Amino acid sequence: MWFYYALLSALFAAFTAIFAKIGVSNINSNLATGIRTIVILVLVWSIILIKGETKEIISLSKTNIIFLVLSGAATGLSWLFYFKALQIGKVAQVASVDKLSVAIAIILSVVFFKETLTLKTIIGAVLIISGTILFALK
C-alpha cells in the first residue's frame, strides 16, 4: 500500500510545481509560501478533526515533538527555497534538482538508520544524480 501513497505523493508534488510556478508569478515568493502553508494547515487539521485524531496528541513523546518540529523547520525552509527557485527558474529544472533529495535521503538513511544499500538502490541514486546534473546543465 505504501507504493500507492508514494505514487499519489509524486503526482501531487508534480501538480504542486505547476500550480506554484503560476502562483508565484509577480508576487513575493515568501508570501506565496505563506499562503500555501495556510492552505495546508487548514486542510490537514480539517482531516485530523474529521477523523477524530486529536486525542493522540497526548501520546507524543518529547522525541516525537523535537523531531517533528525539526522536520517542520526543514520543510518550511525547503518550501521557501523551492518557491524562490520556481519563481526564477524553469519548472523541469527546479523539480529535477529538488528530487535530488531522494538521493540525499538514501545516503542519510544509510548513515543514520543503517539501512541496507543494495546494488539496485545505488544504481537508482546514481541515475537520479545523473539526471539532476543533465537537467541543471544549460
Task: Write down the residue that cell numbers 499519489 correspond to.
Answer: 8
In this predicted model, what pLDDT tens digit does every residue of 86-107 receive, in sequence order?
A: 999 999 889 889 989 999 999 9
d(CA 51, CA 13): 24
pLDDT at 85: 94
pLDDT at 92: 87
Instruction: Give me the residues of the chain with pLDDT under 70, please.
Output: 138
In this predicted model, what pLDDT tens digit does every residue of 61-75 receive, in sequence order?
A: 999 999 999 999 999
Q: What's the predicted TM-score (pTM) here? A: 0.83
pLDDT at 96: 86
